[in-house]
Amino acid sequence: MMLAIDPTQKNSFKRQISNGDLVIVYERHDIMKPVKVCEGSELQNRFGVFKHSDWIGRPFGSKVLSSKGGFVYLLAPTPELWTLALSHRTQILYIADITFVVSYLEVIPGCLVLESGTGSGSLTTSLARAVAPTGHVYTFDFHEQRATQAREDFEKTGVSSLITVGVRDIQGEGFPDEFCGRADSVFLDLPQPWLVIRSAGKMLKQDGVLCSFSPCIEQVQRSCETLTTSFTDIRTFEILLRTYEVREVTLEHGGADDIGSPGPSLPCKRRQRSHGSTNGVEKSGSSVPMANPCGESRGHTGYLTFARLKCV
């Protein structure tokens, strides 16, 4: 869903596209582009020319045609789609890791979440949706230009009222003292997270949860050693996701063996019946949906280490 910019409103899904809205132009599962709708503007791609004026008033999810008959879909910028379409200023977290982080950090509406660093804002956007409408995400990045670009992106996606972006070297300075004992959860994506664990512990409420994302196991080991001083229930996970592509396959000669199906062949008559034969004559060229593992499935992204602050 799209988040309302007005913090007094609950999460609301805009059903129709308006002038000035951000839409995700979907060409195929691996080609998407965020576009701001502007009456009088056009989008040109390999499918033709698309006039923005034709989009206004249509519901999100619409299929729109170009001047030469090509088409794209206009989708609402959910955090999941934004993760796939955003500009990568840094390495980002993807949906599998993000959903696990939001769940294991126990982020619910009304929570106060601290994050460092902001990076491309992929996780930040999902955290904002999770804490809405009354919670808030405070995210910090030491790189001023990245922080500025992140603010602009949050404005585009309509979550800026739920996120405050700060410029701060959290590894060197720690989190600001104003958050002491106020944070429900803390997320770290830093080269040396063990330097911030003590500061993060001061920010958390009793029984609050911390998560640290690290690509290397040596970072995990050092972080875990530091966590044992004031945290408990320390766990590390690696999330591996295998995706499948569903597409139509044309069967020639009606045999299951023609598409590499495992297992023994069906008897000839049974094959004919199962593929819709008429009067014992087999139909050729029938299409069936097939699900195959994607060759580009992502493997290791990083390790997620969670820990709960000890109650004193």
The domains of the chain, with CATH numbers, are 7-77 (3.10.330.20), 82-240+300-309 (3.40.50.150)
141 assigned binding-site residue: yes
185 assigned binding-site residue: no
The mean pLDDT value for 233-255 works out to: 83
pLDDT of residue 255: 46
Q: Which H or E element spans position 204?
A: strand 204-214
> Which residues 6+ apart lie within 8 Å of 82 measured at CB?
24, 34, 122, 125, 157
97 assigned binding-site residue: no
121 assigned binding-site residue: yes
The mean pLDDT value for 290-297 works out to: 77
Of 22-31, 126-135, 246-255, minimum mean pLDDT range: 246-255
Q: What is the average pLDDT score of the chain?
A: 86
In this model, does residue 281 exceed pLDDT 50? no
pLDDT of residue 146: 94
pLDDT of residue 138: 98
In this model, does residue 130 exceed pLDDT 80? yes
pLDDT interval class at 30 (50, 70, 90): confident
123 assigned binding-site residue: yes
The mean pLDDT value for 197-226 works out to: 97
- Which residue in the block uniquely carries the two structure tokens 């009222």? 161
> Which residues 6+ apart lie within 8 Å of 173 measured at CB?
none
In this model, does residue 178 exceed pLDDT 70? yes
pLDDT of residue 201: 97
Contact 113, 107 (CB under 8 A): yes
